[in-house]
Amino acid sequence: MKVKKYVAGTMPEAMNLIRKELGSEAVILNSKEIQQGGILGFFKKKKIEVYAGLDEDATEKKELNINKTSQPSKLSTLASSNEIDSNHTVLNEINYLKKLIEKQSQDKETTSFPAAYQFMYEHLIYQEVMGPLARDVMTNVISYHEENNIDPTTENIKLQVNDEISMRLEHYPFQGVTYDKKIIQFVGPTGVGKTTTIAKVAAKSVLEDYKQVAFITTDTYRIAAIEQLKTYAKILDVPVEVAYTPIDVQKAIDKYSSYDLILVDTAGRNFREDQYIKKLQDETLIKEETETYLVLSLTAKQKDLLDIQKQFQSLPIKALIFTKLDETTQYGSLLSIVSEMNKGIAYVTNGQDVPDDLSEPRPEEIAELITGDYFND
């Protein structure tokens, strides 16, 4: 791609200059009004600054195609498909160049990195990756590219950012329930989908792993939550116990001591209430037989998620579960909260279907979620 800047009195004059030098195949990438000349800041004249580009490879191919004789008909479909792919690639490159030129023309003080990398940095911020973490990722990516003499193309930047994110996440365990502990407690703020998540975990344990499962719910604040869990219990043919006090919890645990897995649904309360966290800490559970999972919603604001993790960090959290993946397009919290809490991810949920919408993610899948559509921002 050949790119050149033109300055003229009017747009028609600029167009004539572009046609004479680059030909009729040239594409306008960017144009804006500027002021030139003058004395001591006065009597400046308005001018038009235009960036134009010419895809020389595409032009050469077009000229060759004009001079060539027609090819056998059986190749025409393949040629047409290749041409569409080529045109799409060229269009993406032109759009990228246009953004690059606009970024380079901005005040340098407003950017943190060279323009090509700044796009990805801003995408990570939009995805709600924490600022310091996003900067650290991009700094490492730039260093790697410079050390290995790699061109900062959109694809190269995305690939290296994916590798950087995956490498950071690989330090943490990504594993669901392993049955090492008999009691699994689910905690988290209200409205994140704990009860549905518990049903999904139970369904997987019963239907896929052939385990004997029982439910205990301490969420006695919401009748709807109890009825919901009872409905799931009936469908899965597993027992459920409603516990109003710590003594009730212990009795239920004793009752189902022969079961492979006991899933405990706790009350979803305002996470800012210290007494709620204190109550969870004081619950009479056999701690050496219990694992606690913190359930968070990806639709929550990043600041709220950070506040939640601080409030719950006094509990012995085994791993994180993120819900409502299907209700958002911002996935940076998967990286930010994991890094902040130093905990892995057991599951992500992406819908209401039980048990289908439950999966154990891999670091490379999370990286792709975060960087997936950055070129379209």
**Cα–Cα distance, 45 to 146 (Å, whole number):** 42
3-state secondary structure the chain: CEEEEEEECCHHHHHHHHHHHHCCCCEEEEEEEEEECCECCECCEEEEEEEEEECHHHHHHHHHHHHCCCCCHHHHHHHHHHHHHHHHHHHHHHHHHHHHHHHHHCCHHHCCCCHHHHHHHHHHHHCCCCHHHHHHHHHHHHHHHHHCCCCCCHHHHHHHHHHHHHHHHCCCCCCCCCCCCCEEEEECCCCCCHHHHHHHHHHHHHHCCCCCEEEEECCCCCHHHHHHHHHHHHHHCCCEEECCCHHHHHHHHHHCCCCCEEEEECCCCCCCCHHHHHHHHHCCCCHHHEEEEEEEECCCCHHHHHHHHHHHCCCCEEEEEEECHHHCCCCCHHHHHHHHHCCCEEEEECCCCCCCCEECCCHHHHHHHHHCCHHHC
pLDDT for 294: 94
pLDDT band of 19, cuts 50, 70, 90? confident
Higher pLDDT, 75 or 8: 8
pLDDT for 56: 63
The phi-psi region of residue 41 (left if phi > 0; otherwise alpha if psi is between -120 and 50; otherwise beta) is: left
32-46, 87-101, 106-120, 143-157: which range is least confident on average? Answer: 87-101
How confident is the prediction for the chain on average, in pLDDT?
80
**Cα–Cα distance, 256 to 214 (Å, whole number):** 7
pLDDT band of 270, cuts 50, 70, 90? low
Q: Determine contact, residues 241/255, Cβ cutoff 8 Å.
A: yes
**pLDDT tens, 209-240?**
999 999 999 877 677 778 888 998 999 999 99
| pLDDT > 80? residue 342 | yes
- Candidates 272, 342, 279; CA nearest to 307 is 272
pLDDT for 355: 66
pLDDT band of 255, cuts 50, 70, 90? very high
pLDDT band of 318, cuts 50, 70, 90? very high
Both tokens of 284, joined, read 């009479």
pLDDT band of 364, cuts 50, 70, 90? very high
- Candidates 354, 353, 94, 299; CA nearest to 189 is 299
Q: Determine contact, residues 333/82, Cβ cutoff 8 Å.
A: no
**pLDDT tens, 168-210?**
999 899 999 999 999 999 998 888 889 899 999 999 999 999 9
Higher pLDDT, 212 or 21: 212
Higher pLDDT, 108 or 180: 180
Both tokens of 14, joined, read 């600029």
Beta bridge partners of 293: 186, 319
Beta bridge partners of 242: 217
pLDDT for 115: 84
Both tokens of 105, joined, read 């023309």
Both tokens of 51, joined, read 């960036």
Segment 146-161 shows an average pLDDT of 92
